[in-house]
Structure 1
């Protein structure tokens, strides 16, 4: 059976409207984010991954998922803005997306990969991510309200 979805790290395929709509209305972490900010974050991220549903003539169809990787591509990466649109969930797409990120040749040798999640620990733990329980004071943040 042919796959109905594919994942690409080609930024030119990304649908900014789909990404912005999800982040500003459906995410818990980026409510109200501007389209300009989303566009700038994509441009300045080392890698972005889109999940696409193939259309009936085997071409590129609609974008149904996204993740971006902020990285120096040498030692460190931060995975952000991961989502699969609700009507496409339950098909293993988030696992395929994270796997694609984890095996990407530019990321596979990084010493540290981080992310933050409120509700997807089960997904990320399958790929070796762990909570910072052993040293919670290791990381600090500066959070600004703009």
Structure 2
């Protein structure tokens, strides 16, 4: 693993990189506009992993800062996957969730259950307690 650094400093984010990664390399945000991504970032606590000044991972936590958080838009540069960057990113985010004292943090994934389980996430049980309203 290279000399990677986790940071929660929003000033370090490379907005163009974040938008490109999510709009071109994710299944959930493909085609998302830069304006929409910038607005989502502005309303969230954002995190990155950096190789020097170059951003190589991103995630955002939508939270009230006291009781609840939703982890979203987690992505690692496809050219850097398998180097432990996702683990470093989640280690930092979990530390922030714990520091804030959030009672509950949720996320949705189609393909990274094992990675998140290593960091304490588990399936929602019983599912009947949770409701969702989404736009189609």
- Class of the TM-score when normalised by the shorter of the 2 chains: over 0.9
The separation in 1 between residues aligned to 2:46 and 2:121, in whole angstroms, is: 20
The one of the two structures with greater contact order (alpha-carbon pairs below 8 A, sep at least 6) is: 2
- TM-score (normalised: structure 1): 0.87
**Aligned counterpart, 1:136:** 127
**Aligned counterpart, 1:99:** 91
Contact 1:101 1:107 in 2 (8 A): no
**Aligned counterpart, 1:58:** none
> What does the per-residue CA deviation read over 1:51-105, in whole Å, with 9 as the maximum and x for residues that have no partner?
1111xxxxxx211100000001111011100011011111111111111011127
Structure 2, unaligned runs of 5 or more:
none
Structure 1 segments, 4+ long, off by >6 Å, are none
RMSD, aligned α-carbons: 1.7
Structure 1, unaligned runs of 5 or more:
55-60
Contact 1:73 1:107 in 2 (8 A): no
Look at both structures and tell me which one has the larger radius of gyration over its CA atoms: 1
1:51 has 2:49 as partner: yes
**Aligned counterpart, 1:82:** 74
- What count of residue pairs does the alignment treat as equivalent? 136
**Aligned counterpart, 1:57:** none
1:70 has 2:62 as partner: yes
**Aligned counterpart, 1:32:** 31
1:122 has 2:121 as partner: no
**Aligned counterpart, 1:7:** 6
Task: Answer 1 or 2: which has greater helix percent.
Answer: 2
- TM-score (normalised: structure 2): 0.93
